[in-house]
Structure 1
Amino acid sequence: MRYILTLSILIFSVNFSNAQVKEPVAASEILHQMKKLQNTTRVLYVAAHPDDENTRLIAYVENGKRFDAAYLSLTRGDGGQNVIGPELREGLGLIRTQELLAARQIDGGKQFFTRANDFGYSKNPDETFNKWGKEEVLSDVVWTIRNFQPDLIITRFNQTPGITHGHHTASAILANEAFELAGDENAFPEQLKLVNTWQPKKIYWNTSSWFFRRNEDFDRSKYVTENAGGYSPLLGISYTEMAALSRSRHKSQAFGTAGSRGDEIEYFEYWDGPEDEKELFEGIDSSWDKYKNGKAIQKALDKLIADFKVNQPEASIDKLFEIKGLIEKLDDSAVKTDKLEAINELILNCAGLYHLLYHDNQYASPGDNLNINLELVNRSSASIELVSVNMEAIKESLSISGKLENNQVKLKSFSLKIPEDFPYSNPYWLDDPSANGLYKVEDQELIGKAENEPSMKAEVTLNINGNSLSFQSPLSYKSSDRINGEIIQPLYIIPPLSIEFDEEVSIFTSKGQEKEVSINVKALKDNVSGELELDLPKGWKADLKQNDLSFQNLVKNSSKEFKIKITANGNEGKFDLKAFIKVNDKTIDKSVQEIQYEHIPNQIILRDAQQKLVLADVKIKGEKIGYIEGAGDAVDEALQAMGYQVDFIDIEKITVEELNKYDAIIAGIRAYNVNAALQVHYGKMNEYMNSGGVYMVQYNTTYSLPDTDFWPFPLSLSRDRITVEESSMEFLNPDHPTLNYPNKITNNDFEGWVQERGLYFPNKWDKNYIPILAGNDPGESEKKGALLVADYGKGKFVYTGLSFFRELPAGVPGAYRLLANIIAPKPVE
């Protein structure tokens, strides 16, 4: 029964709770955390992306060894793909950040990041460092080590180029160099105004048979081993089962995994530290003996654990305060800081204290008056008195105090005003435009943090059994519904309205062309009034005379649409159309993106309210496009911006006759991987092409793809890709219609591409396919599978790994021209 209870608490906290709102825990979990206080060893795991971490090892270190573990992910995974929704780039990075935090809630570790931006697949560390700036990211790794102060560093990857992703290899290289530099006062000396140097004792590579081409090449006898497959009776779960729950938080990467049980051996290659050690943690003193007062601390901890009463956890509170006093006398260190934080949490848990500071709306704006509630419940026999509640960020002290009686709810309502200059709640790494490969973060103390502090919080001070204890309670949004019951989410401070362009990009195909742009002003609170204004590129014009751009008293969640005629002018290229609104003498120029999934807390991103205007010579043939949904992309929006009518089609229900009304049909990215109906009904597409239709399939992967020949002629998918977006592209068949009709494609059309040329190209294909393009990354062989075209009956089939899903939202003119050619009907000869 305890097993089920433990898992339900873990899952509840991940699905419905703000990370800062913590439910009281069971007595067995309290005892487990007390035992963790006995150990002072700290382990930092280092890799490149969310989902790179070895959750099994982190779960084992945290809960089996009861050491303090942390994962440093160099990036937030911004350059990956998303199998659960349409978010890419910054939105995906925010999702994957929260998935990592959800994973750490399960396995207990801490989470850190550097400023490095995941710019997509990289084949070698040199390319990676050229994009990131090696010194900047190395500085962040050193900063993390100096702050977390690990005894042991473990990397997920080795330093040999060419085995895996260049980001992976780079993470190992940086970890190894930072191991030496973190203890050197001459390395990044500006950090030493805020932290001290720190020298970890050892560094290992956590290897496995995966890194060897053949399993027999993996000589297990060469490595240090650790059995991570144990079981915790106190938690009612094995570390491998816990690891599966943790890894399954990575839903945007489709990394759900079944739990396993039994022994699980981990292998480690020694890199640096004391020589001739045969065990991973050999030579690391985990006790308190190395600290001043250490023997007294250890003795007090032994007694705390020996005297713990499962049915009366509050009996341990006085002893916890005694231990807290002993640790407070130590010199400052990461161990001191984290153990004091753990003790404070243990005291609250022993008292069964429930606290929630909440509001009934998810959003608020600067200048708003809020009605908030504070609920406190002492679910123990401990003597607890509420001393004060202070909202430090708005310099307000809430008028509430008094004794917290056993199991009696103390509920108080307040009114407070948010200052007019209160900052918006935007992820700190997205506040400023990022340099290529590196997020811009000016505040050194923010670097490494996984997420922002709560938008608003209260400092609650209690007197517990005659001892003072203060803790932070975040202001949250509380709601309930008939399906999920009580839901606790973050509360965000955002603008009172959001300015949203209907399309990310508007395409103009000639100078003087007039096109209607649609802008929606959405009210995020009641009674919002203002007037929309535009900032146009030089030479461009807007017909504002026919538009009333003012709006009055919009109610919350309502919107007003403005349709404005824009006339293209100037040179070909891409430009920004910006919009803003004056509200009470304050300029609002943001679009608020909401991200909501059940497995992470709700998130928001504030973006500049703007649309890309692309002036390019794009001719299109055909009018109606059918789109088969894949893993999520914005290609359909780009097609609409080009002037096509786009309909999403259900391949299971649609008939071939109905398919024939479309000039072309496009399968979204990884459609064959994620669309089960397409895996069954793909034969309809052959009939459609046979009648003269054009069918374009964007990239798929071999992972989770059934062993079925989906294509009209055989082809084999591979992991071939061109990651350097500036790589030159050779026209293999320069006279082919794909390069000439209706647009003449030149090398200029491959300028300005972002992140990559393409990915997961076929590497073998039937003779009916005609390869159109060839290219390669520096030092590699030529790849000819980026764009394959085959005639089929009266129509044609196109398979392409070119990354249109990235280039079109980025407003790359040549990508629009090439796409128009690909989906154009076969020219009449």
Structure 2
Amino acid sequence: MKYNLTIFLFFTFVSFSIAQVKEPVPASEILHQMEKLQNTTRVLYVAAHPDDENTRFIAYVENGKKFEAAYLSLTRGDGGQNVIGPELREGLGLIRTQELLAAREIDGGQQFFTRANDFGYSKNPSETFNKWGKEEVLSDAIWTIRNFQPDIIVTRFNKTPGITHGHHTASAILAHEAFKMAGDKTAFPEQLEFTNIWQPKKIYWNTSSWFFRRNEDFDKSQYVTENAGGYSPLLGISYTEMAALSRSRHKSQAFGTAGSRGDEIEYFEFWDGPENAKEIFNGVDHSWSKFKNGKTIQKAIDKLVDDFEPKKPEASIDQLFVIKQLIEKLDDSAVKNDKLKAIEDLILNCAGFYHLFYHDHPYISPGDQINLNMELVNRSDADLKVIGASINAIGEDLDIAGELSNNDVKLQSFAIKIPEDFPYSNPYWLDDPSANGLYKVENQKLIGKAENDPAIIAEINLSINGNKFSFSSPLKYKSSDRISGEIIQPLYVIPPLSIEFGEEVSIFTNTGQEKEISIKVKALKDNISGLLELDLPAGWKAETDQLDLSFENLVRNSTKEFKINLTSGGEEGKYDLRAFARIDEKSVGKSVQEIQYDHIPNQIIIRNASQKLVLADVKTKGKKIAYIEGAGDAVDEALVAMGYQVDFINIESISIEELKQYDAVVAGIRAYNVNSALQVHYGKMNDYMNSGGVYMVQYNTTYSLPDTDFWPYPLDLSRDRITVEQASMEFINPDHSALNYPNKITAEDFEGWVQERGLYFPDKWDKNYVPILAGNDPDETTKKGALLIADYGKGKFVYTGLSFFRELPAGVPGAYRLLANLLARNSNQ
């Protein structure tokens, strides 16, 4: 079932998260979907990340050619940056997963993933495969091909290393290898317990001038072309306009774009398959004739389309059942499964059938006794009866039988009990701790799925014009808001409470150090009582009486905060402090992260309730730090954990005298890219440094950076980076205070770094800057711009591309020691 792209276009694309229940669609959309039944061709688009897909081509294939299209994104974009909020890593991956699903709702394609984790920028496919495990991700790509069964595979990138991101190149290499191996029964034979081999017919690279250094190097004459710039009268939108709306779902990457109209030529390089490459879709039978009894099916579908009455869609229901029965007799295939699902949607749409299975809270917990509601409406002259409904996962039958005449509403409530052992709704790929490059997913059938199935689903049984018909209705959360009106969101099964530490990391600088930590217990349902318990690392102590950790009768969304004096153990290193709540003899040790944005459905992540403890020799100088917000990071939290007082400041309104109270000022990541006030008032920072202050700027990008010299002395940013986090770092100026005061920095401080050393280093700078570190990725030239320091008046300026925003939340001791040195005023002050 699709959204009404003609009448409700604006509503659907602007308020996606509110319109979670798909409304019955108008006649034009119904006819469009009926016409899609006539074709059986399938196209799989393959690339590396969310946003890599060509939404224009996918929209054209789905809605212009009326074929089935899908996008296989090897990763979920976990390693990128987030321009709309603070979420990184798993949280960002979940946001980008939902952005891709929102994009596919618009252009009509399906969405798949592999288990590959986006570990950050990679310069070549060798590094990428070393991190991911090439065989594992290749297996996932073949699994997707065998299940989706495409006739044609299209890649966004080519196989030549060095032109683009290593993940990009790897996606093309894997796509071509998977193309050749998916039809081989000796390749990953364990998959054949659940699926069958499949050999796609052709594979192409979807190229463009973007991949060439000069436009004149892009010889259009050597490529296969397809005009993706058409217009759909039934949908009232061009495929290029649809593509812009789809791409604009990638809000966490600031990829909003305006729609275009007119011809848009796509170019394709033929890679493999029969030599019929003059047109991308040549040599593929688009009809049903390749299936047993296919001519009969084709005629039945053609009759459906020819006889469709826009003012009376229910007149097509009987013919849809005829087609359904014919397709059900076919051997199992992806075409059969997808077409049966499309027919199910068409039957409901032709009947104007509305269904909503809902609860009045967004969360439920195992063991809960809850009331549910079901609303069913027949908005047609079809002879429709409700036979019954059931919740198979719980083993509950729902008594809701009865006739439904035109515009009758059946609304009933049910009381059910959620089993005590019912699983939580955590995204399946986050259930087990993952390796650096690959998420751990044991269940083969889950691999490739974009998201979990809904937590609870009702199977509703109908009789429509005498035909038995069943469909699934997921349990949703329904509420009403005086501004937004009716709001429908996903419903999740979660723990009854969430245990949240005040800080992600606590830093201890010597053995036996006592430090107060904060833990909040947040009730996610009413009447929560219990006892907080701690699982301490060996040698660490918590000075509190267990009786002081009780909580009673917490109501939904209320919290109780505990202050605990923690004493560090004897050996330096990183540790985990776990927390649990004892409730009715059950132990619950989980933290629930809620992610809410207007453009995607609400999301949750359920993790173990824990805090990283770092015992390291970290000396600090100074007390007060001013923080200028950038694009979002957790560096300020790390500074608090180190013992600094951190205040966020508004550079536009703060005075020089107010700035002077701070020992150092830190600009968040990409602050000059996103903070226009900082671009204008940078002169204040020069005055601050001149009076003795320390000003540290973290990495910025050249993208969207005005051509203005913000820095106290000239420097030029580049795309230089060191992506191998184990790369050795040379101390260019070993006697510089940055490496000696107040902490003596050694090679050991660069051990245990995650994802990368740093990014977007300057490559040219004024002689007043002193480069501190040098390093390089394998087979590359040395980069010296990771850390530059310049004296300015009585103070100093620090520019660094080192990825403190990743290392500090990961609890890397050396990153804390080096940061403390960078923030220290000159030793003679």
| TM-score, scaled to structure 2 | 0.99
Runs of 4+ in 1 over 6 A off after TM superposition: none
- Is 1:408 matched with 2:414? no
Greater Cα shift, 786-795 or 598-607: 786-795
Residue 284 of structure 1: aligned partner: 284
Residue 477 of structure 2: aligned partner: 477
Residue 7 of structure 1: aligned partner: 9
SS at match of 1:348: helix
Residue 656 of structure 1: aligned partner: 656
Question: How far is the alpha carbon of 1:223 from its aligned partner?
Answer: 0.4
Q: Quick one: distance in 2 between partners of 1:665 and 1:228?
A: 51
Q: Quick one: distance in 1 between partners of 2:76 and 2:225?
A: 30
Question: How far is the alpha carbon of 1:9 from its aligned partner?
Answer: 4.9
> Which residues of 2 match residues 584-603 of structure 1 at below 5 A?
584-603=584-603
Question: How far is the alpha carbon of 1:6 from its aligned partner?
Answer: 4.1
> Which residues of 2 match residues 166-177 of structure 1 at below 5 A?
166-177=166-177
Q: Quick one: distance in 2 between partners of 1:28 and 1:348?
A: 15
Q: Quick one: distance in 1 between partners of 2:14 and 2:286?
A: 33
Kindly tell me the number of residue pairs found equivalent between the two proteins: 826
- Is 1:541 matched with 2:541? yes
Residue 342 of structure 1: aligned partner: 342
Letter matched to residue 233 of structure 2? P
Q: Quick one: distance in 2 between partners of 1:155 and 1:675?
A: 37
Residue 531 of structure 2: aligned partner: 531
- Is 1:62 matched with 2:30? no
Q: Quick one: distance in 2 between partners of 1:653 and 1:480?
A: 39
SS at match of 2:654: coil
SS at match of 2:548: coil
Residue 251 of structure 1: aligned partner: 251
Q: Quick one: distance in 1 between partners of 2:147 and 2:14?
A: 31
SS at match of 2:309: coil
Residue 368 of structure 1: aligned partner: 368
CA contact (8 A) 1:205 1:270 kept: yes
Q: Which runs of 5+ in 2 are unaligned?
A: none
Question: How far is the alpha carbon of 1:276 from its aligned partner?
Answer: 4.3
SS at match of 2:7: helix
Residue 700 of structure 1: aligned partner: 700
TM-aligned CA distance change 1:556 to 1:771, over 3 Å: same
Residue 82 of structure 1: aligned partner: 82
Residue 138 of structure 2: aligned partner: 138
Residue 383 of structure 2: aligned partner: 383
CA contact (8 A) 2:80 2:88 kept: yes
SS at match of 1:579: strand
Letter matched to residue 526 of structure 2? D
CA contact (8 A) 1:226 1:265 kept: yes
Q: Quick one: distance in 1 between partners of 2:417 and 2:121?
A: 47
> Which residues of 2 match residues 365-514 of structure 1 at below 5 A?
365-514=365-514
Q: Quick one: distance in 1 between partners of 2:573 and 2:483?
A: 50
CA contact (8 A) 2:533 2:546 kept: no
Residue 631 of structure 1: aligned partner: 631
SS at match of 2:566: strand
CA contact (8 A) 2:12 2:19 kept: no
Q: Quick one: distance in 2 between partners of 1:743 and 1:207?
A: 51
SS at match of 2:143: helix
Residue 182 of structure 1: aligned partner: 182
Q: Quick one: distance in 2 between partners of 1:276 and 1:61?
A: 19
CA contact (8 A) 1:373 1:414 kept: yes
Question: How far is the alpha carbon of 1:547 from its aligned partner?
Answer: 6.6
Letter matched to residue 11 of structure 1? F
Question: How far is the alpha carbon of 1:546 from its aligned partner?
Answer: 8.3
Question: How far is the alpha carbon of 1:404 from its aligned partner?
Answer: 1.1
CA contact (8 A) 1:83 1:632 kept: yes
- Is 1:45 matched with 2:45? yes
Q: Quick one: distance in 2 between partners of 1:757 and 1:295?
A: 61
SS at match of 2:16: helix
SS at match of 2:17: helix
Residue 106 of structure 1: aligned partner: 106
> Which residues of 2 match residues 657-736 of structure 1 at below 5 A?
657-736=657-736
Residue 148 of structure 2: aligned partner: 148
Question: How far is the alpha carbon of 1:15 from its aligned partner?
Answer: 2.5
CA shift digits 1:140-170 (9 cap, x unpaired)? 0000000000000000001111111111110
Residue 819 of structure 1: aligned partner: 819
CA contact (8 A) 2:14 2:599 kept: no
Question: How far is the alpha carbon of 1:13 from its aligned partner?
Answer: 6.7
SS at match of 1:45: strand
Kindly, what percent of the aligned residue pairs are identical? 78
TM-aligned CA distance change 1:547 to 1:562, over 3 Å: farther
Residue 229 of structure 2: aligned partner: 229
Letter matched to residue 502 of structure 2? D
CA contact (8 A) 1:14 1:105 kept: no
Residue 607 of structure 1: aligned partner: 607
Question: How far is the alpha carbon of 1:277 from its aligned partner?
Answer: 2.5
Letter matched to residue 351 of structure 1? A
Letter matched to residue 419 of structure 2? P
Q: Which runs of 5+ in 1 are unaligned?
A: none
Residue 201 of structure 1: aligned partner: 201
CA shift digits 1:452-510 (9 cap, x unpaired)? 00011100111111111111111100011122111100000000000100000000000
SS at match of 2:710: coil
CA contact (8 A) 1:633 1:668 kept: yes
Q: Quick one: distance in 2 between partners of 1:429 and 1:24?
A: 33
Question: How far is the alpha carbon of 1:545 from its aligned partner?
Answer: 3.0
Q: Quick one: distance in 1 between partners of 2:563 and 2:107?
A: 51
CA contact (8 A) 1:10 1:105 kept: no
Question: How far is the alpha carbon of 1:813 from its aligned partner?
Answer: 0.2
Letter matched to residue 483 of structure 2? I
Q: Quick one: distance in 2 between partners of 1:683 and 1:379?
A: 66
CA shift digits 1:177-213 (9 cap, x unpaired)? 0001100000000111111100000000001111111
Q: Quick one: distance in 2 between partners of 1:600 and 1:220?
A: 38
CA shift digits 1:317-352 (9 cap, x unpaired)? 111111111111111100000000000000101111
Q: Quick one: distance in 1 between partners of 2:534 and 2:570?
A: 18
Residue 331 of structure 1: aligned partner: 331
Q: Quick one: distance in 2 between partners of 1:113 and 1:190?
A: 19
CA contact (8 A) 1:547 1:562 kept: no
Question: How far is the alpha carbon of 1:4 from its aligned partner?
Answer: 5.8
Residue 275 of structure 2: aligned partner: 275
Question: How far is the alpha carbon of 1:17 from its aligned partner?
Answer: 3.6
CA shift digits 1:777-828 (9 cap, x unpaired)? 0000000010011111111111110000000000000000000011111111
Q: Quick one: distance in 2 between partners of 1:62 and 1:435?
A: 36
Q: Quick one: distance in 1 between partners of 2:325 and 2:608?
A: 49
Question: How far is the alpha carbon of 1:3 from its aligned partner?
Answer: 6.8
SS at match of 1:394: coil
